Amino acid sequence: MRNDGDVKRDVEDELKYDADVDATDIGVSVKNGVVTLSGFVHSYGQKLQAEADAKRVAGVMAVANDIEVRLPSTDARPDPEIARDLVAQLMLELPYSYEEIKSVVKNGWVTLEGEVEWNYQRVKAESTARHVKGVLGVSNLIGIAPRVSPTEVKAKIQNALRRSAQLDANRIDVDANGSEVVLRGTVRSWAEREEAQRVAWLAPGVTKVDNRITVSY
């Protein structure tokens, strides 16, 4: 296991290296491999990007993201404007499923509701909401309607894991119970663990991924 001081230094360097994040007001602390991010940034996208940067660093076991979003005065917008902009963007990004998605905006916070068939649609809706000017945060409550059998789900995920150049599929076990998937096994990095979870979510009809994969350095 890496020394917490080395992990802290590498996370700070990773944040400074990312041109999409202003790390000036971000604080980093590390205890037993668990990283806590604090301070503030000027957009919700930067908050999430900072978290992604930290997860890429070797030795990071988990990340607690306590960064606050403080919008510049020029980016502050009333809720109705945010809502109208969000609907327009969803129509562009998800032309065949946007009507299944309902959004509520309160004090700059977006709540997404509804039901779609594929997780990528759920993810795309959240990504779209994150990038709407004036948004302070997003709660994604969109459900997924399963239309495939557990056997099919398991087989599709196993095949996808084998195809991934970033993973050793022999070290990962997949169980499917209805539309819920459980991943077990051991991988060599947090990034590899995240990749396995991403692959599982790509299977049609998956409504939940319980990632029990452990990281062993």
pLDDT in tens, the chain (217 residues): 789 999 999 999 999 999 999 999 999 999 999 999 999 999 898 999 999 999 999 999 999 999 999 988 777 899 999 999 999 999 999 998 899 999 999 999 999 999 988 888 999 999 999 999 999 999 999 988 766 677 788 888 888 888 887 788 888 999 988 778 999 999 888 888 989 999 898 887 788 899 999 988 6
**91-109 core/surface letters (b: 16 or more CB in 10 A; e: else):** eeebeebbebbebebeebe
Residue 103 to residue 113: CA distance in whole angstroms:
6
**What is the per-residue pLDDT for 71?**
84
Residue ranges, CATH 3.30.1340.30, the chain: 4-69, 74-144, 150-215
Token pair recorded at residue 214: 């452990």
Global confidence as pTM: 0.59
- DSSP assignment of 148-175, as one string? S-HHHHHHHHHHHHHH-TT--GGGEEEE
pLDDT at residue 147, rounded to an integer? 66
pLDDT at 202: 83
Question: What pLDDT, on a 0 to 100 scale, did the predictor assign at position 60?
Answer: 92
For the 150-215 domain, the top CATH level (class) is alpha beta
pLDDT at 197: 92
**What fold does the segment set 74-144 form as a domain?**
Histidine-containing Protein; Chain: A; (3.30.1340)
Q: In this structure, are residues 47 and 29 in contact, taking their beta carbons and an 8 Å threshold?
A: no
| CATH class (in words) of the domain with range 4-69 | alpha beta
Q: If DSSP codes are grouped into helix, strand and coil, which group holds residue 114?
A: strand
For residues 72, 124, 138 and 136, what is the CA-based torsion angle, rounded to 10 degrees? 0
